[in-house]
Amino acid sequence: MKNIRVLDSEDLPTNTSSNEHFQAVVERARSRRGFLKSGLGLSAAVFLAGPLAACGGSSGGSGEGETETPPESSLLGFKAIPISTEDTIMVAEGYTAEHFVPWGTPLFAGDPDWKSDGSDDSAAQARQVGDNHDGIHFFPINGSSDEGLLVMNHEYTTTSGGEYPWLFGVGGTEPWTADKAQKAINAHGVSVIHIVRNAEGKWEIKLDSQYNRRITAATEMQLTGPAAGHDLLKTSEDATGTKVLGTFNNCGNGWTPWNTYLACEENFNNYFGTTSGNDQRDEAQKRYGLSAQETGYRWEEHFDRFDYVKEPNESNRFGWIVEIDPFDPNSVPRKRTALGRIKHENAAYRLAADQRIVVYMGDDQAGDYIYKFVSDGTFKEGGDNSALLDSGKLYVAQFEDGEASGDFMGTGKWILLDKNDNAALLADNTNFPTQADILIKTRMAADLVGATKMDRPEWVSVHPTSGEVYVTLTNNSGRAEDETDDANPRAANRYGQIIRWREAGEDATATTFEWDLFVLAGNPVKYTDRADLKSGSENITADNTFNSPDGLAFDQEGRLWIQTDGNYSNAGEYEGQGNNQMLCADPASKEIRRFFVGPKECEVTGIAFTPDSKTLFINIQHPGEDGDSHWPDGGTSLPRSSTVIITKNDGGVIGS
């Protein structure tokens, strides 16, 4: 989600704990290892030999001249492209990118076309593709790379000053009726879309498929796992504490090896406010950032469950990971409480050697944490895995400056969030009388055990063979420039970074790890002095500069795809960075090349491949959110979030 327009957003920390910030750990690791204070402090010769030669195109210098010739990446087979500020999509030479299933596309045979004037009602929206596409996954049918279920999140629908300028057209919000609120509710959630490649090689929707489905912010779901049925999950509509309506603000995603989709509930807090006129939030509601008064979405004006004064526990039923079986259109989505309640960005799994499933997760807010879940049970190929995410151990990450091996910068621990095994949690019977309370108030439990505050954790991805885990820390620009100091070299972290870690003994269930900075994003166009940390690490050049890494995924061959959701002004601190974009990195050489650029004022997000790696699906979210785009339809049309399908013209593997 774009972060500068939303009240109480993820840029504003709600974490008032005294826990240490990651930047302080980084600084100590740098000092201890004796790195030059003026440099980034990444020791490796690879880093100092920044890859400057491979990129094509954009204006600006290429960093300092003393840089050695970099190794040519054998993984990256495409020529980098320059930035763009155009209202169109750009992709590397030799590739084709086309938009697909924009917001409003009917999903069922016989339905009328989407109405471009915002006059479709809630019933129509419930049968159309939702808005603001985000996380996405392709589930092949019988292993096919030509037919499958494309499943995607619709994170939110854009509001501005009490209006929904796209959903209803400018001025169309008034009068604010229950059906309009319901339409907004139906624009959220998840789409399951049966797609097939036709005789001409074009992907199209199979409109008569039994699989096509819309899941919205009103679809019946079930809370499962250790917290299900807890008093804090009961409402006046649901005395069982297990039946909940809908999912929303589904940002990044995940999937499981048993072919289910994970929709992650992120900024759920923005949907809960009150019309009472008073700020009556309790400590937990503040820690999770609920709106003090009215919300921008205005659902609470028509539906009491979104008014936290009238229904104080409803918000506790959001902030979970939701498991969906796309192959059973009648399945009830399940909110898996064992994985904790945070502002979930995405969920990336790895199978341990003994086949327990490990799920890595980030909590996207300035100063919040990184988590991992380790299941109690083990994955059984072809067996019943439906309860695997209902029981296990939840850990939070603590980064330390201990001596790591090789080029890695420090060490870390996974701290168990368990009522019985952790003295701090055991002692606090006010906030955490039971383990279920820890799962419902996960952030507060993590505060108590000394987790490390991070710069807005976004997507996590696991390398397909090494098992190393990478995470984007998108930015933390909230702190002012004059608040920087030696211990916090990038307090005003406008550009973000990607860090990685490897578990002890290469064991996904380990409780210790070693960590490293993979890239410190920066702007060598604006900051040409390499001594300035704002120019980024040495694998950032004037040719690949970007800010705010967010979407992140490895492909099967180990290329790391990086998507941005950052400032697209192309001015000031962001001069020379253009529209939001997708880049590709070689984890070994650390080289990064720009592959794709989105239209104006969008975010590039979501990464899914067909099994043969020859079709790539990504999403363009909120093009023109500041009013200056007509993508994809052009002319004077409303901008629409859309999927983009990328193929290589020679039919080859994407990125090769």
Residues for the chain: how many in total?
Answer: 656
HSE-CB for 114 with a 13 A CA cutoff: 23
Look at residue 468 and give the partner it binds from Ca ion, ligand FEO, none, a contact being a CB closer than 5 to 8 Å depending on partner kind: none
CB of 188 to ligand FEO, least distance (A): 13
Q: Which residue of the chain is nearest ligand FEO when measured via CB? A: 251
Question: For the residues of 95-106, what is the DSSP string, one character each?
Answer: EEEEEES-TT-B
CB of 105 to Ca ion, least distance (A): 22
Of positions 550, 573, 591, 601, contacts Ca ion by CB under 5 A: 550
CB of 620 to ligand FEO, least distance (A): 14
Does position 131 interact with ligand FEO (CB under 6 A)? The reply is: no
Interaction mask 580-619, Ca ion, x per CB under 5 A? ----------------------------------------
Look at residue 8 and give the partner it binds from Ca ion, ligand FEO, none, a contact being a CB closer than 5 to 8 Å depending on partner kind: none
Does position 52 interact with ligand FEO (CB under 6 A)? The reply is: no
In 159-211 the beta strands, taken as DSSP E runs, fall at 189-197, 203-205
Measured CA to CA in angstroms, residue 25 lies from 22, 40, 78 at distances of 5, 14, 36
Contacts of 636 (CB under 8 A, 6+ apart): 630
What residues pair up with 335 in beta bridges, in sequence order?
223, 322
Nearest CA to 374 out of 405, 335, 343, 416 is that of: 416
Which one, 314 or 550, has the nearer CB to Ca ion?
A: 550
> 220-224 and 615-621: which strand pairing?
unpaired
CB of 377 to Ca ion, least distance (A): 30
Contact set for Ca ion, span 232-251 (CB under 5 A): 251
CB of 587 to ligand FEO, least distance (A): 23
Look at residue 155 and give the partner it binds from Ca ion, ligand FEO, none, a contact being a CB closer than 5 to 8 Å depending on partner kind: ligand FEO
CB of 60 to ligand FEO, least distance (A): 29
Which tokens belong to 3? 């972060």
Which one, 460 or 492, has the nearer CB to Ca ion?
A: 460
Of positions 565, 591, 601, 625, contacts Ca ion by CB under 5 A: 565
- How many other CB atoms sit within 10 Å of the CB of residue 433? 11
- Terminus-to-terminus CA distance in the chain, angstroms? 30
Does position 266 interact with ligand FEO (CB under 6 A)? The reply is: yes
Contacts of 423 (CB under 8 A, 6+ apart): none
Which one, 565 or 601, has the nearer CB to Ca ion?
A: 565
Q: Cα separation of 135 and 405, whole Å?
A: 34
Question: For the residues of 61-114, what is the DSSP string, one character each?
Answer: --S-TTPPPPPPPSS--S-------SSS-EE-TTEEEEEES-TT-B-STTPPPP
For the four alpha carbons of 277, 319, 151 and 332, in that order, the dihedral sign comes to negative
Contacting range for Ca ion; rule: CB under 5 A; set: 46-54, 421-429, 563-571, 577-585: 563-571
With beta carbons less than 8 A apart as the criterion, state whether 185 and 217 touch: yes
Which tokens belong to 239? 């005395």
Look at residue 440 and give the partner it binds from Ca ion, ligand FEO, none, a contact being a CB closer than 5 to 8 Å depending on partner kind: none
Which tokens belong to 4? 């500068």
Contact set for ligand FEO, span 133-172 (CB under 6 A): 155
CB of 592 to ligand FEO, least distance (A): 21
CB of 1 to ligand FEO, least distance (A): 4
Which one, 269 or 509, has the nearer CB to Ca ion?
A: 269
Q: Is 335 helix (H, G, I), strand (E, B) or coil?
A: strand
Does position 552 interact with ligand FEO (CB under 6 A)? The reply is: no
Which one, 118 or 522, has the nearer CB to Ca ion?
A: 522
For the four alpha carbons of 480, 473, 158 and 283, in that order, the dihedral sign comes to negative
Does position 364 interact with ligand FEO (CB under 6 A)? The reply is: yes
Does position 345 interact with ligand FEO (CB under 6 A)? The reply is: yes
Q: Which residue of the chain is nearest Ca ion when measured via CB? A: 565
Vertex 324, ends 321 and 328: CA angle to 5°? Answer: 170
Q: Is 548 helix (H, G, I), strand (E, B) or coil?
A: coil
Does position 1 interact with ligand FEO (CB under 6 A)? The reply is: yes
The three-state DSSP-derived secondary structure of 603-646 is EEEEEEECCCCCEEEEEEECCCCCCCCCCCCCCCCCCCCEEEEE
CB of 272 to ligand FEO, least distance (A): 17
Does position 368 interact with ligand FEO (CB under 6 A)? The reply is: no
Does position 265 interact with Ca ion (CB under 5 A)? The reply is: no
What is the torsion angle, in degrees rounded to the nearest 10, for the CA atoms of residue 194, residue 607, residue 472 and residue 364?
Answer: -20
Which tokens belong to 546? 């970007």
Which one, 95 or 261, has the nearer CB to ligand FEO?
A: 261
Interaction mask 562-601, ligand FEO, x per CB under 6 A? ----------------------------------------
CB of 343 to ligand FEO, least distance (A): 7
Interaction mask 296-335, ligand FEO, x per CB under 6 A? ----------------------------------------
Number of residues that bind Ca ion (CB under 5 A): 3
Interaction mask 452-481, ligand FEO, x per CB under 6 A? ------x-----------------------
Which one, 516 or 550, has the nearer CB to Ca ion?
A: 550
Which one, 251 or 321, has the nearer CB to ligand FEO?
A: 251
Look at residue 573 and give the partner it binds from ligand FEO, Ca ion, none, a contact being a CB closer than 5 to 8 Å depending on partner kind: none
Q: Cα separation of 87 and 95, whole Å?
A: 19
CB of 237 to Ca ion, least distance (A): 31
Contacts of 470 (CB under 8 A, 6+ apart): 460, 461, 462, 463, 498, 499, 500, 518, 552, 554, 560, 587
Nearest CA to 152 out of 624, 641, 557 is that of: 641
Which one, 9 or 43, has the nearer CB to ligand FEO?
A: 9
Question: For the residues of 317-356, what is the DSSP string, one character each?
Answer: G-SSEEEE-TT-TTPPPEEEGGG--S-EEEEEEEE-TT-E
Measured CA to CA in angstroms, residue 349 lies from 226, 262, 464, 474 at distances of 20, 11, 11, 21
With beta carbons less than 8 A apart as the criterion, state whether 103 and 599 touch: no
CB of 171 to ligand FEO, least distance (A): 28
Which one, 212 or 641, has the nearer CB to Ca ion?
A: 641
With beta carbons less than 8 A apart as the criterion, state whether 56 and 76 touch: no
Number of residues that bind ligand FEO (CB under 6 A): 8
- Contact residues toward Ca ion (CB under 5 A) are 251, 550, 565
- Contact residues toward ligand FEO (CB under 6 A) are 1, 155, 251, 266, 345, 364, 458, 550
